[in-house]
A and B are shown apart, each in its own frame.
Chain A
Amino acid sequence: MKDAGNSALASMKKAHIAFYLILAILLVLITWGGYSWVRIMFIDGVGITGSSDLVPWGIYIVGFVFFVGTSAGASLVGLMIHGFGRKDYEPLGTRAILVGFLSLLAAVLFLMSDVGNPFRAVLLPAVLRNPTSMLVYTSITYVGFAALMLAELFFAVKITLKGGKGSHWDEKMAQVLAVGALLFALMVVHAPHGALFAFLKAREMWNTPLLPAHFVAVALASGIAVIIHITIVTSKITKKEIVSKETLSHMGGLLAFFLGITLFMDFFDYLVMSYSGKPGGLEIWHFLTTDFYFFFLINTIGMFSAMVILLFKRGRNITGLFIASNVTILAILSYRWNLIVVAQIPPLFPGTGNLYYTPTVPEVAVVVGIVALISFLYLVLTTVLPMEETVQEN
């Protein structure tokens, strides 16, 4: 008995050391990213990134769109708990809100790394100037969405502190906020991000009315994939089941559903692009299937195989879910890369030669730094904040 106690203590200590080690590594990465950010913004100029005059947007915008989507998709957990009354999702409540909030933070940081004048850009939501620009509205929605999520977080923590059962008022507020946050996230925050690109009639790949709907489907898929990934990893590390296997399997089903919708839209999008024979569409199709075929394959085959794994009940075991969620994240990242980068590759004037975009080291460092920063904050906040009761120990 005593031995068992001692070994448990030893393993806890080990876990602690590993935890602090991870935090330390993340801090190093954050410093690297921060230094590169200062270099880009104040010392060398944005010119040291891979972006250029003909391909003005690069991986920052890729990351920005991915994290905005993830942030919106993570709100689905709140809807499950409070909208559909799935109490089994409850242990994920606070975590999902944190994932949503930190993803939004990452998205804003990506934007702040992309613009040439970040100190002026932070004023965008407050000093609104051009009502015909979608970017003004999206930047305002971040403030609203962040406020909604903070309020959600407040009530979730309050209810947890009261032992999982808040007052009638608290429960009601949590419910209204959760349902409101999801609708806000998808319709007010994320669909307009699709429009942000769809409005640009000069760019063949973006200028489609399908894009806002597509963004919503991808957002939900990426949000759920990230939540599944985090749940499984946390369960493995803490050796506690956060939610039951059934709940995870249910999430897997949802992911399969949204992947299906995404693939459906992708299929027809690509079909129309290649079949209709419009020069711009053909050019995009050409780049997708030649120079960028690697990302195109990861995107399409990745999403398809993840969906197939998840369609079968047997595939929705822990291993299957883990593989499918990671493949989905990779596939969606590749999709975002294609959407942002490949859309800018065909030159708008014929005969101008192939354009190119390759991210540079400082640029990648900033991306790594931002991801490290939100991971760091996630780890610290989930340790500090009271989390809902997990299901039970293994």
Chain B
Amino acid sequence: MKKLNRREFVKLAGLAGGYALWPPKLGVAGRDALWPQKLGVVGDIIEGITGFNPTKPSGALEPIPGVKFGMVIDLDRCIGCRRCSYACSRENNVPDIISPPYITLFETESVTGISGIYHPTETPGAGTTMMYTKLRKDKWYMPVQCNHCDDAPCVQVCPTGATYKAPDGIVMINYDKCIGCRYCMVACPYQARRFNWFHTGFTPKCRIRIEIH
């Protein structure tokens, strides 16, 4: 076996050390393991001193220049199938079992009065619930999720700046900064924040852009 020279050794040792300190990279769906990111404060300390966080995920979090996002939901076309809700829970790493789910679907008697959260136990798309038209013809459905507010209360109160307003209009979350204080949850007027109660201890949220990237 080839002997390592000093330079190579230092390089390798540096890599190994860096890997040990580096919290697992942020996946699109956030992180699952419980221990590493709770102890992954190394990046925070370095950022506190230097203003630069080497553990910060790069690339995916950068806004697209010249783009301003907006979101429209056409309530006339919503059939209350809740597939958006399930897909979103998977994507954002919040359990399906929570009630109400990340995208909350309200069922209304008419176009004006909300009669309650529509949250049947069966999974959309499974067996008979696979649907392409409204199951209950006389009802209306209104999915409510994060509105990416212009003057977002959750951004205002978040102590770490984990939740922030990106230049392209999206209210983003950086999981590497979130301490899980849930201040954003009590501040949101739409109750559009959910907490990852059983895994990461973060407060995931809709980040449209990352999903588009």
- Interface of A with B (CB < 8 Å)? 41-42, 44-47, 51-54, 56-57, 111, 114-121, 123-124, 126-127, 129-130, 132-136, 139, 199-203, 344, 347-353
14 contacts between A and B (CB under 8 A): A45-B197, A45-B198, A53-B185, A53-B193, A53-B195, A116-B195, A117-B202, A119-B39, A120-B41, A123-B45, A126-B48, A132-B155, A134-B157, A201-B153
B208 within 8 A of partner (CB): no
Q: Give the CA-CA distance A236 to B96 in the complex, in Å.
A: 56
Do the beta carbons of A136 and B159 come within 8 Å of each other?
Answer: yes
Do the beta carbons of A350 and B180 come within 8 Å of each other?
Answer: no
Interface 1/0 per residue, B157-195 and A, CB below 8 Å: 111110000000000000001111111011111110111
Q: Would you give the shortest CB distance from A11 to chain B, in whole angstroms?
A: 50
Do the beta carbons of A349 and B114 come within 8 Å of each other?
Answer: yes
Do the beta carbons of B48 and A200 come within 8 Å of each other?
Answer: no
B183 (CB) vs chain A CBs: closest residue: A135
A136: chain B residues within 8 A (beta carbon) = 159
Q: Give the CA-CA distance A127 to B40 in the complex, in Å.
A: 14
Q: Would you give the shortest CB distance from A372 to chain B, in whole angstroms?
A: 25
B26 within 8 A of partner (CB): no
> A56-B186, A115-B181, A119-B39 given as contacts; is B159 within 8 A of A127 (CB)?
no
Do the beta carbons of B117 and A352 come within 8 Å of each other?
Answer: yes
Q: Would you give the shortest CB distance from A284 to chain B, in whole angstroms?
A: 15
B115 within 8 A of partner (CB): yes
Which single member of A44, A133, A348 contacts B159 (CB below 8 Å)?
A: A133
B199 within 8 A of partner (CB): yes
Q: How many of chain B's residues touch chain A, expressed as a range? A: 35 or more
Do the beta carbons of A120 and B190 come within 8 Å of each other?
Answer: no
Do the beta carbons of A133 and B157 come within 8 Å of each other?
Answer: yes
B38: chain A residues within 8 A (beta carbon) = 41-42, 117-120
B117 (CB) vs chain A CBs: closest residue: A352
Q: Would you give the shortest CB distance from B73 to chain A, in whole angstroms?
A: 15
Q: Give the CA-CA distance A119 to B40 in the complex, in Å.
A: 8
Q: Would you give the shortest CB distance from A340 to chain B, in whole angstroms?
A: 10
Q: What 3 pairs across the A-B complex have the smallest Cβ distances?
A: A116-B180, A116-B201, A47-B197
Q: Given A116-B178, A123-B41, A132-B155, list of 4 further CB < 8 A pairs? A: A56-B195, A115-B181, A117-B180, A123-B48
Which single member of A47, A129, A130, A348 contacts B191 (CB below 8 Å)?
A: A348
B133: chain A residues within 8 A (beta carbon) = none
Do the beta carbons of A117 and B201 come within 8 Å of each other?
Answer: yes
Do the beta carbons of A115 and B35 come within 8 Å of each other?
Answer: no
Which single member of B41, B183, B194 contacts A133 (CB below 8 Å)?
A: B183
> A135-B157, A135-B159, A200-B153 given as contacts; is B114 within 8 A of A350 (CB)?
yes
> Which among A111, A124, A349 has the greatest number of chain B C-beta atoms within 10 A?
A349
B interface, over-half SS: loop
Q: Give the CA-CA distance A175 to B189 in the complex, in Å.
A: 46
Which single member of B116, B161, B203 contacts A351 (CB below 8 Å)?
A: B116
B47 within 8 A of partner (CB): yes
B193: chain A residues within 8 A (beta carbon) = 53
Q: Give the CA-CA distance A41 to B182 in the complex, in Å.
A: 15
> A117-B38, A124-B159, A133-B158 given as contacts; is B199 within 8 A of A202 (CB)?
no
Q: Would you give the shortest CB distance from A125 to chain B, in whole angstroms?
A: 10
Q: Would you give the shortest CB distance from A351 to chain B, in whole angstroms?
A: 4
Do the beta carbons of A349 and B159 come within 8 Å of each other?
Answer: no
Q: Give the CA-CA distance A148 to B75 in the complex, in Å.
A: 58
Do the beta carbons of B100 and A202 come within 8 Å of each other?
Answer: no
A46: chain B residues within 8 A (beta carbon) = 180, 195, 197-198, 201
Do the beta carbons of B188 and A202 come within 8 Å of each other?
Answer: yes
Q: Give the CA-CA distance A180 to B51 in the complex, in Å.
A: 33
Q: Would you give the shortest CB distance from B57 to chain A, in whole angstroms?
A: 16
B157: chain A residues within 8 A (beta carbon) = 132-135, 199-200
Q: Give the CA-CA distance A54 to B192 in the complex, in Å.
A: 9
B144 within 8 A of partner (CB): yes
Do the beta carbons of B160 and A129 come within 8 Å of each other?
Answer: yes
Do the beta carbons of B195 and A353 come within 8 Å of each other?
Answer: no
Do the beta carbons of B35 and A42 come within 8 Å of each other?
Answer: yes
Do the beta carbons of A202 and B200 come within 8 Å of each other?
Answer: no
B91 within 8 A of partner (CB): no
Q: Would you give the shortest CB distance from B212 to chain A, in whole angstroms?
A: 25
Do the beta carbons of B106 and A351 come within 8 Å of each other?
Answer: yes
A203: chain B residues within 8 A (beta carbon) = 186
Q: Would you give the shortest CB distance from A199 to chain B, in whole angstroms?
A: 7
B155: chain A residues within 8 A (beta carbon) = 132
B195: chain A residues within 8 A (beta carbon) = 46, 51, 53, 56, 116
B178: chain A residues within 8 A (beta carbon) = 116-117, 120
> Which among A120, A135, A203 has the greatest number of chain B C-beta atoms within 10 A?
A120
A343 (CB) vs chain B CBs: closest residue: B186
Q: Would you give the shortest CB distance from A92 to chain B, in whole angstroms?
A: 35
B104: chain A residues within 8 A (beta carbon) = 349
B37 within 8 A of partner (CB): yes
B110 within 8 A of partner (CB): no
